[in-house]
Amino acid sequence: MENFALKKCLTCGKALTGRLDKKYCDDQCRSSYNNRSRKSHEKRILETYRKLRRNRTILKSLCPTGKATVRKEFLIEMEFDFSIFTSIFPSKGNVYYFSHEYGYMPLVEKSITEGRPIQKVLIIQRQIFMEKSFDPWKFLK
């Protein structure tokens, strides 16, 4: 029992009481310790998932009826990350990039009034015909 009296919480250093194999004084200290000790690759995975969820939320909010077109700048203002997506779907020379069931396709429109191309994004919900498996080797020449 004397050795147990010397045991301290791994997070806050407070003396531990109770079970002999106890490492933390409470759930908050246990959670805090585990969050701090997470490996860097696990942190990158969690960050990627966070960005995917945010992208999906943005696309869902802008596409309530299944199809919408918005300017690229609008998505950038909402902190949309174009480099992260869950899947792609090639379609007649274009590519849809999906964040789960919501996808987008980059578009360029020529503006008559502004005299320059306008970058836009066509947002869609995944359709049944898009469910077939994707073969990336199909496009090799």
In whole angstroms, what is the distance from residue 109 CA to residue 95 CA? 16
| pLDDT of the residue at 5 | 52
Which tokens belong to 33?
């310790």
| pLDDT of the residue at 85 | 94
What's the Cα-to-Cα distance from 42 to each of 11, 49, 53, 106, rounded to whole Å?
A: 20, 11, 17, 31
Asked if residues 39 and 47 have their Cβ atoms less than 8 Å apart, the reply is no
| pLDDT of the residue at 114 | 67
| pLDDT of the residue at 1 | 44
In whole angstroms, what is the distance from residue 45 CA to residue 3 CA? 39
Which tokens belong to 94?
């274009």
Tens place of pLDDT for every residue, the chain, 141 residues? 444 457 889 889 888 888 888 999 999 999 888 877 777 778 888 899 999 999 999 999 999 888 999 999 999 999 999 999 999 888 888 899 999 999 999 999 887 776 788 999 999 998 877 777 777 787 777
- Nearest partner of 102 among 86, 118, 91, judged by Cα: 86
Place of tokens 């902190």: 79
Beta bridge partners of 117: 110
